Chains A and B, each alone.
Chain A
Amino acid sequence: MPPLPLQSDWAFVVGNLDLLLVGTGVTVALTAASILLGFLLGFPAGAVEVYGRGPLKRAVETAGVVLRGTPLLVIIILLFFGLSVSSSAFVTATIALGLRSAAYQSQIFRGALQSVDEGQLEAARAVGMGRLQAIRSVVVPQALRRSVPGFQNEFTIVLKDTSIAIVIGLGELLTVGQNLYQGGRSTAALEIFLTVSLIYFVLTFVTNRSLDYVDDHFSIPGGERA
């Protein structure tokens, strides 16, 4: 009996799993780098929106509005082909995803900082702490806990949106899948892209569960969940 086409197509996927895993590695690295860049820029940006004033605050707000109002696909094409910020597709994708994520993370942290009761800052000031010290020691630790659910959401979005790096030829998961299919070596489009989808799902699932754990671990006893 000849092998079923279905079987042979899955065999093709299994045979190329090592390539898909390399692509998965790139996706994970790109996600981590983008989230990190987004945090490093987004957290201070959120703080400036809450506590800052003057031109700095306006500049940060404007940058956020522009970044949130531009499709990620446009940002990444603009950075790579328009501005050629880097010859490295990975670096360009990190900047694009990181900037966009910073714009959204700033709003997560802004909301979290604003949700901490005014009395907390006042009590810290009344003990004799300076404004910055009070924000750092009393408001920020509480705000970070409250930002976990929003951050969880953002993490998932960035992870999936790394697939957009396909347009600048970065060898992340989707690009690897596409290459396997377009190389003409197989017609197993459904099998390949189902596998790619499954990998994305596993990654987001694991990430969400890990952040659930962080949420539980850092929640304040007797009080709100983190």
Chain B
Amino acid sequence: MTDPLLELDDVYKSYGEEQVLSGVSFEMDAGDVDVVIGPSGSGKSTMLRCVNRLTEINDGDIYLDGDCVTDPDTDVNELRKQVGMVFQDFNLFAHLTALGNVTLGLRKVRGMDKEAARERGYEHLEQVGLLDQADSYPAELSGGQKQRVGIARALAMDPKLLLFDEPTSALDPELVGEVVEVMRDLAAEGITMLVVSHEMGFARSAASDIIFLDDGRIVEHGPPKQLFENPQAARTGEFLSRLETTHEGE
């Protein structure tokens, strides 16, 4: 038995009085694509941010590839080299070109020289179909293009795990497709991904597991077929049917 790639063990997180995560536990193996769904405010993004410690948990443990990442002695910068993150609002470095966005981490964190970083940067821009925009600045790109650069930036660090925090929520509907397509490609390549998203098409076709989070607890966790066709918990069914109505026509 090999260790799971990611394991959350009874994770608690609160902001003051407000309990956000109340005993969250799950595991995912290398190559898995887990999609986290749940109502707004259910703790999805917080859970994701705890994995790379942009948010610190109050109790419990998180393991990446067998190492406890929530140990106070863990070097967060070393951890984050191994965990890429894609943000809802892209957060591209505004003063750098698409290529510069992808290569900054390679140069400053991986210590690559400029030429090697550029080469690697071009590779990953090609991977997301944006080789021709390498010299464009974020403000010159569409939302979909920005997010694809964001994905290339995360990929370039060669992470063990990619976190996606609602990667398509800030996009105009007609731009969602290009980003989902890139994510689908990555899933097919065997990249391990933990995705907070309500893109049901992606969840159905690319996810290994769906995690339904409500009020800081995992209500249901299983393969998409089971969750969508035969939800075990009443709340899962309710949430999914609400989602279907609001996302009709997708």
Contacts and interface: CB of A to CB of B under 8 A. Distances in A.
Are both chains from one complex? yes
Interface in A137-169: 137-138, 141-142, 145
How many residues of A sit at the interface, in one of the four size bands? 20 to 34
Interface of A: 117, 119-120, 122-130, 133, 137-138, 141-142, 145, 220-224
A119 B91 contact: yes
How many residues of B sit at the interface, in one of the four size bands? 20 to 34
Contacts of B154: 127
Contacts of B91: 117, 119-120, 122-123
Contacts, number: 77
A220 B135 CA distance: 12
B107 to A, nearest CB: 9
A145 B136 CA distance: 18
Contacts of A138: 93, 95, 104
A138 B94 CA distance: 9
A133 B108 contact: yes
Interface string B121-163: 0000000000000001111100000000000011001000000
10 contacts: A117-B91, A122-B91, A124-B104, A126-B87, A142-B95, A220-B95, A220-B137, A221-B137, A222-B136, A222-B139
A208 B135 CA distance: 30
A131 to B, nearest CB: 9
A129 B75 CA distance: 11
Contact of B139 (A119, A126, A133, A223): A223
Interface of B: 52, 54, 77-78, 80-81, 83-85, 87, 89, 91-95, 104-105, 108-109, 136-140, 153-154, 157
